[in-house]
């Protein structure tokens, strides 16, 4: 009689049933759509990788033979690269960001694109702007709409002469034939719902479409996919991975869970493998009023620290208060790395706060305001910005470190002076391309002699004059301007050029700070920009006083220092999303980034109400709260302990040295 195998459930396999449910759903003969709840630290990417590997083994050869693929849509390029790495870039997996995937569906369909723009998109856009224009008053917005109307009409006139449309998911899209990010998403969504031939092509290529971070997938595209799946449920499985509590962008589908059909599978992962128990307890408490879902910590991840620091909004030296908070956290946690600012990930609610703290506001303030720049500037792919961050800055760094090989590698990769034609032998008396490059580098680096910090504009002028690098079109007209502090600039009709005219006055040292920020090499991040990431020590900054986009989030409302607005109450009654809901999700996402210890710094007009609210909700205890006045005392106490410990250690060393000398002097 054979013994029945009994599998012991532990932290490592507790969520295996969810993974097995996904694997069973992705069957070519009987596809089953699903929504996988995967909360913070649940190992969602690991599950996705495991499922993809299994599919490659089971149906990979069949898919290759039929020329079919499994679509995997990610939210960021980083996530895309990570998934590709985990599946060894197997070609049966078509892993793309949502914009790249949408473009892959419509690219080359030039007649359909033109027809859609002429008959649907542009007339609707024009009517909307003209309606606002008719109601608006004279002023800056009125003039802006006037330009928009003229631009739309001109584009409609030019469209019949455009035979090939272009689009770059990761950068600028300028020029007559270029499509915008919004247009590509709207177009792909429209085609998915209305064009039968288009639907058949998509079905023939993709039996499964899997979407990571589905709660933040663009609303029009998600609605189109849900309709597409409904119409073809016997031929397609749509798999959604996500957690609605981690929806932090306004463009996601707010009622996604309510739209999931009953016939779908709904597996769930309950483990949080990332954070220690105290942090998970806080996270569960924060989301308790939202959806009742909760996670459990690993048995080997007990403990952890949460502490809240509250200061008055007015009159508080924020830099000093946050430094004091880090010192107190070092004492509370016995983790000396809290004393090192670069070892703590500090999360601000808006990007301009991070820019100010890191010191690149001179670049950020003008460039981030340009609508066509925002996405690429924030993720580091803006072509005109990359001239400074990926070409000029590395030249300066390699030159300063004496790295001739690194310097030459940058020039060979990017400089037209080292192109094959430029490197050919020139006429007598003329410099070769290599010679020109040397002089160009010498001229550029001369701006930085004796630790000088030139303006970005002066750096641009040097590069443009020498031809060291190609100058992006938007910067060409600016490369001969005067960038001295008192110089004036005549505005143009191009908001991109005008923004750069201001940004070029910034010191070049801001470029490296910007680069470190977008590459996530700085100690600062934003509440929205760290989803999916994790850090040992996290400091969350809740600061309504410095927010610019009022109404999008409010920690004062969430934490009881300010009453809900009439609009919030109206939205609550109508079952719509409120500022309160958005802020709660932001707090949840940021708190769940912490692995070991978490500090929450709140600046408030009513610190006492904040403390009372957080305790009454059961989020923290009184021992886990420090207010402004008390913090100074705690800092002094902590500093005294440090001095005491240092003095104790100094005495120990003195005694050890005295004993060693005594032993040496003692006669044998």
| 16-107+183-273: CATH topology | Rossmann fold (3.40.50)
The residue behind tokens 């006045």 is 629
Q: pLDDT by residue (tens digit) across 223-273?
A: 999 999 999 999 999 999 999 899 877 788 888 999 999 999 999 999 999
- Which band of pLDDT confidence, cut at 50, 70 and 90, is reported for residue 376? confident
Q: What is the pLDDT of residue 662?
A: 61
Average pLDDT over residues 598-620: 97
Cα 49 from Cα 42, distance rounded (Å)? 13
- Report the predicted TM-score, pTM, of the whole model to 2 decimal places: 0.82
645 pLDDT higher than 70: no
- Lowest average pLDDT, out of 304-308, 341-345, 606-610, 655-659, goes to 655-659
Mean pLDDT, rounded, for 417-437: 67
For 441-483, how does the pLDDT look when each residue is reduced to its tens digit (9 = 90+)? 999 999 999 999 999 999 999 999 999 999 998 999 898 888 8
Determine the pLDDT at residue 668: 44
Q: By C-alpha distance, which of 338, 347, 385 is closest to 597?
A: 338
Q: Please say whether the beta carbons of 345 and 540 come within 8 A.
A: no
Mean pLDDT calculated for residue range 594-618: 97
Query: Rounded to 5 degrees, what angle do the CA atoms 108, 113, 119 make?
Result: 165
Give the pLDDT band (50/70/90) at residue 640: low
Spell out the domain ranges in the chain.
16-107+183-273, 110-164, 279-349+529-632, 358-518
> Using an 8 Å Cβ cutoff, are 232 and 205 in contact?
no
pLDDT at 1: 46
Cα radius of gyration rounded to whole Å, the chain: 29
Which burial class, exposed, middle or buried, applies to 8 when counting CB atoms under 10 A from its CB (0-12, 13-18, 19+)? exposed
Whether the per-residue pLDDT at 33 is higher than 60: the answer is yes
Model pLDDT, residue 485: 73
Q: Does the structure show a pLDDT above 60 at 18?
A: yes
- pLDDT for res 632: 62
Q: Which of 152, 155, 176, 181 is nearest to 165 (CA)?
A: 176
pLDDT digits (tens, 9 = 90+) for 612-637: 999 999 999 999 999 876 666 666 56
Confidence bin at 491 (pLDDT 50/70/90) = confident
Contact 524, 354 (CB under 8 A): yes
Q: Which residue has the tokens 């009372």?
A: 612
Q: Mean pLDDT, the chain, as a whole number?
A: 88
- Judging by beta carbons within 10 Å of its beta carbon (0-12, 13-18, 19+), is residue 122 exposed, middle or buried? middle
Q: What is the pLDDT of residues 92-102, one digit of tens each?
A: 999 999 999 99
State the average pLDDT over residues 138-152: 78
Q: Mapped to the 3 state alphabet, what secondary structure does 34-55 carry?
A: EEEEECCCCCHHHHHHHHHHHH
Return the pLDDT at 639: 52
Surface-to-core class of residue 488, CB atoms within 10 Å of its CB (0-12 exposed, 13-18 middle, 19+ buried): exposed
638 pLDDT higher than 60: no
pLDDT at residue 378, rounded to an integer:
86
Residues of the chain with pLDDT > 70, as a percent, come to 89
Mean local confidence (pLDDT), 585-607: 95
As a whole number of angstroms, the distance between CA 538 and CA 276 comes to 13
Q: Which pLDDT score is estimated for 381?
A: 84
Note the CATH number of domain 279-349+529-632: 3.40.50
pLDDT confidence tier of residue 644, bands split at 50, 70 and 90 = low
In angstroms, the Cα distances linking 131 to 124, 140, 156, 531 are: 11, 17, 18, 38
**Cα 314 to Cα 312: distance, rounded to the nearest angstrom:** 5
Closest CA to 298 of 319, 256, 336, 269: 269
Residue 417 has pLDDT above 80, yes or no: yes
| pLDDT at residue 415 is higher than 80 | yes
Domain 16-107+183-273 shares a fold with domain 279-349+529-632: yes
pLDDT at 352: 84
Higher-scoring residue by pLDDT: 373, 164? 164
pLDDT tens per residue, range 39-97: 999 988 888 888 999 999 999 999 999 999 999 998 878 788 888 988 888 999 999 99
Out of 427-431, 498-502, 536-540, pick the least confident.
427-431
Q: How confident is the model at residue 533 (pLDDT cuts 50, 70, 90)?
A: confident
């Amino acid at each position: 009689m054979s013994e029945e195998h009994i599998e012991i459930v532990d932290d490592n396999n507790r969520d295996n049933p969810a993974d097995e449910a996904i694997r069973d759903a992705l069957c070519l003969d009987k596809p089953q759509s699903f929504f996988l709840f995967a909360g913070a630290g649940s190992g969602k990417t690991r599950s996705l990788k495991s499922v993809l590997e299994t599919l490659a083994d089971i149906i990979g050869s069949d898919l290759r033979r039929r020329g079919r693929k499994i679509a995997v849509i990610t939210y960021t390029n980083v996530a895309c690269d990570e998934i590709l790495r985990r599946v060894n870039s197997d070609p049966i997996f078509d892993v793309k960001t949502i914009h790249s995937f949408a473009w892959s569906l419509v690219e080359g369909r030039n007649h359909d694109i033109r027809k859609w723009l002429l008959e649907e998109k542009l007339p609707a856009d024009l009517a909307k702007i003209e309606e606002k224009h008719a109601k608006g008053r004279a002023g800056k917005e009125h003039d802006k709409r006037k330009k928009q109307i003229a631009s739309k009409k001109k584009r409609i006139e030019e469209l019949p002469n455009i035979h090939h449309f272009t689009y770059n998911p990761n950068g600028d899209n300028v020029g007559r034939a270029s499509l915008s990010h919004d247009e590509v998403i709207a177009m792909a969504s429209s085609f998915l719902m209305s064009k039968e031939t288009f639907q058949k092509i998509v079905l023939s290529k993709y039996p499964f479409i899997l979407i990571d971070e589905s709660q933040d997938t663009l609303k029009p595209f998600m609605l189109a996919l849900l309709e597409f799946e409904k119409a073809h449920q016997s031929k397609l499985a749509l798999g959604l991975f996500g957690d609605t509590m981690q929806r932090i962008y306004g463009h996601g589908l707010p009622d996604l869970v309510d739209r999931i059909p009953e016939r779908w599978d709904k597996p769930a992962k309950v483990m949080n493998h990332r954070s220690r128990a105290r942090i998970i307890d806080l996270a569960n408490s924060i989301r308790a009023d939202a959806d009742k879902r909760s996670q459990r910590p690993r048995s080997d991840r007990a403990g952890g620290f949460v502490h809240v620091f509250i200061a008055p909004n007015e009159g508080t030296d924020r830099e000093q208060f946050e430094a004091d908070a880090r010192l107190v956290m070092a004492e509370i946690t016995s983790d000396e790395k809290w004393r090192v600012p670069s070892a703590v990930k500090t999360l601000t609610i808006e990007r301009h706060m991070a820019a100010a703290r890191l010191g690149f506001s001179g670049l950020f303030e003008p460039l981030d305001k340009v609508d066509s720049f925002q996405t690429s500037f924030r993720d580091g792919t803006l072509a005109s910005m990359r001239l400074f961050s990926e070409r000029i800055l590395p030249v300066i760094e390699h030159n300063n470190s004496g790295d001739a090989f690194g310097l030459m590698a940058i020039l060979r990769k990017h400089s037209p002076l080292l192109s094959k034609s430029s490197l050919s032998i020139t006429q007598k008396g003329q410099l070769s391309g290599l010679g020109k490059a040397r002089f160009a580098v010498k001229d550029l680096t001369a701006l930085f002699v004796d630790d000088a910090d030139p303006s970005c504009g002066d750096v641009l002028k040097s590069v443009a004059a020498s031809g060291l690098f190609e100058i992006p079109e938007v910067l060409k007209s600016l490369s001969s301007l005067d960038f001295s502090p008192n110089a004036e600039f005549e505005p143009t009709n191009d908001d991109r050029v005008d923004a750069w005219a201001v940004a070029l006055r910034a010191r070049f040292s801001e470029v490296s700070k910007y680069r470190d920020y977008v590459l996530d090499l700085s100690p600062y991040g934003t509440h929205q920009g760290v989803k999916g990431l994790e850090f040992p020590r996290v400091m969350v900054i809740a600061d309504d006083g410095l927010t610019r986009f009022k109404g999008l989030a409010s920690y004062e409302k969430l934490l009881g220092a300010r009453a809900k607005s009439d609009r919030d109450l109206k939205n609550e009654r109508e079952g719509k999303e409120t500022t309160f809901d958005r802020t709660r999700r932001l707090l949840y996402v940021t708190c769940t980034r912490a692995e070991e210890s978490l500090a929450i710094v709140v600046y408030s007009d009513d610190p006492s109400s904040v403390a009372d609210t957080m305790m009454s909700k059961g989020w923290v205890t009184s021992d886990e709260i420090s207010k402004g006045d008390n913090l100074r005392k705690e800092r002094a106490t902590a500093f005294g302990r440090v001095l005491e410990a240092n003095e104790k250690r100094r005495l120990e060393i003195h005694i050890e040295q005295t004993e060693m000398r005594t032993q040496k002097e003692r006669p044998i």
